[in-house]
Amino acid sequence: METERKKLYSAIQPTNNLTIGNYLGAIKNWVNLQSEYDCYYGIANMHAITVRQEPVKLRQKTLSLLALYIACGIDPEKCVLYLQSHVSAHAELAWVLNTITYVGEMERMTQFKDKSARHADNINMGLMDYPVLMAADILLYQADVVPVGEDQRQHLEITRNIAQRFNNAFSPTFTVPEGVYMKVGAKINDLQFPDKKMSKSAENPNGSIFLTDDRDTIIRKFKRAVTDSGSEIRYNPAEKPGVSNLLSIYSVFSDKTVAEAEADFAGKGYGDFKLAVGEVVADKLGPIQSEQVRLEADRQYLDGVLKSGAEKAARLANKTLAKVYKKIGFYQI
Ligand code: TYM
């Protein structure tokens, strides 16, 4: 008898330009895990509107993120790729989960505090409710594992709490998911401020390598990357945050361990090292970029992927939602 495979859920917001942080912290891991799990990969456009978006750009970024998923090696024949707003169960389950989530818990979320500071003129209810919608995403698909970067750890923890709280109050309903983090790559830092996370929305674009950057830009940014005092190329995030960040990037992009990466640069100077990191990143991103451009031009294909993705996603999501509605006492005809 065929055993049922475990389920995997993850998503990315179609906002700004994705960085190598998003690639290394999330997408690369997704590609590796797709043959092991039943995978659901969302495009989180409902999360995106918790900060202001230009409608035309949001639409464009949605398709280019889908094209990127596929260009990076996620196979739409094996995985369900879909747009969050196409499956109405996300909003419906989020509403139910809101009623078992406390305002105080949401106010304590680091990302809410950060984003409230950055968007002080738009601290809307959606921004605060963001983790509940994320919990709904994950729980609808009964996900066993959720591969994300380190910055999502707190949201994963609250998802687990919400799932357990519901299960205890109404009887077991949701799988309690585990976060999966890359050993190296779960937190890629800014090239100019190596104590800060590399971010899609950073003010200084020189600190982030965007997945759309061309070869010259990539190499220039790495050449300018902040290193540390001393001249040794050694992995030690506390003492050498700049060099360690570059070693992490090099090691994941070249599929080598950090120790192998260190060995590659034994006795070499920072200049050679930074050039080599730039080259390995540019070599890897080049083919992804051309494939993304090719796919973006094929609207019919992308629409087809989204359509079949939405149907498959809705099937499972609606099944979970129906269970929830029954358990909480919503009358069904
Ligand atoms: P988002 O769109 O901010 O980021 C997408 C993924 O990239 C990871 N990431 C990083 N990893 C390593 N180093 C970095 N510098 C770095 N920056 C970003 C993030 O951890 C994330 O995995 N809330 C989510 C989207 C989401 C979601 C979900 C994720 C919505 N629903 C359900 C998982 C499950 C977010 O904003 O990711």
Q: What is the pLDDT of residue 186?
A: 85
> How many independent structural domains does the chain possess?
2
128 and 235 both lie in a single domain: no
Domain assignment of residue 21, yes or no: yes
Select from 273, 282, 291 the least CA-distant residue to 214. 282
Q: What is the pLDDT of residue 228?
A: 86
- The SS3 of residue 269 is coil
| 96 CA from centroid of ligand 1 (Å) | 24
Which pair of tokens denotes residue 205? 């674009």
69 and 165 both lie in a single domain: yes
231 and 152 both lie in a single domain: no
User: Which atom of ligand 1 is nearest to 130's Cα?
Assistant: 23
Q: How many Å apart are CA 133 and CA 147, to the nearest integer?
A: 17
Residue type, 284: K
Strands in the chain per DSSP E: 7-12, 38-43, 80-83, 145-147, 178-180
- The SS3 of residue 329 is coil
Which pair of tokens denotes residue 277? 């990191």
Q: What is the pLDDT of residue 202?
A: 81
| Burial category of 181 from C-beta neighbours within 10 Å (exposed 0-12, middle 13-18, buried 19 and up) | middle
23 and 147 both lie in a single domain: yes
Strands in 142-251 per DSSP E: 145-147, 178-180
91 and 18 both lie in a single domain: yes
pLDDT (tens place) for every residue of the chain, 333 residues total:
556 899 999 999 999 889 999 999 999 999 999 999 999 999 999 999 999 999 999 999 999 999 999 999 999 999 999 999 999 999 999 999 999 999 999 999 999 999 999 999 999 999 999 999 999 999 999 999 999 999 999 999 999 999 999 999 999 999 999 999 988 888 999 999 999 999 988 888 999 999 999 999 999 999 999 998 888 999 999 999 999 999 999 999 999 999 999 999 999 999 999 999 999 999 999 999 999 999 999 999 999 999 999 999 999 999 999 999 999 999 988
User: Which atom of ligand 1 is nearest to 190's Cα?
Assistant: 15
- Determine which helix (DSSP H) or strand (DSSP E) holds 32, and give its type and residue range: helix 28-33
Find out whether 28 and 12 touch, Cβ atoms under 8 Å.
Answer: no
Which pair of tokens denotes residue 248? 């992490």
Whole domain around residue 213: which residue ranges?
205-293
Find out whether 110 and 118 touch, Cβ atoms under 8 Å.
Answer: no
Q: What is the pLDDT of residue 210?
A: 96
Instruction: Give the predicted TM-score (pTM) of the model.
Output: 0.95
Q: How many Å apart are CA 66 and CA 328, to the nearest integer?
A: 35
Q: How many Å apart are CA 253 and CA 185, to the nearest integer?
A: 10
Whether 197 sits among the annotated catalytic residues: the reply is yes
159 and 31 both lie in a single domain: yes
Q: What is the pLDDT of residue 2?
A: 53
To test the pocket of ligand 1, the residue of 83, 127, 148 to mutate (highest count of ligand atoms within 8 Å of its CB) is 148
Q: What is the pLDDT of residue 224?
A: 96
Q: How many Cα neighbours within 13 Å face the side chain of 91?
A: 9
226 and 310 both lie in a single domain: no
Q: Say which residues have a Cβ less than 8 Å from residue 328's Cβ, sequence separation at least 6.
A: 96, 170
47 and 81 both lie in a single domain: yes
| 293 CA from centroid of ligand 1 (Å) | 23
Domain CATH for 35: 3.40.50.620
The conformation of residue 130, written as its DSSP 8-state character, comes to H
312 and 176 both lie in a single domain: yes
Q: Say which residues have a Cβ less than 8 Å from residue 324's Cβ, sequence separation at least 6.
A: 93, 96, 166, 173
| 12 CA from centroid of ligand 1 (Å) | 6
Q: How many Å apart are CA 217 and CA 212, to the nearest integer?
A: 10
| 171 CA from centroid of ligand 1 (Å) | 30
Q: Which residues line ligand 1 at a C-beta cut-off of 6 Å?
A: 9-13, 21-22, 24-26, 44, 47, 134, 137-138, 146, 148-149, 151-152, 186-188, 197-198
* Range list of H helices, 141-238: 153-170, 215-223
Instruction: Give the active site residue among 200, 312, 323, 327.
Output: 200
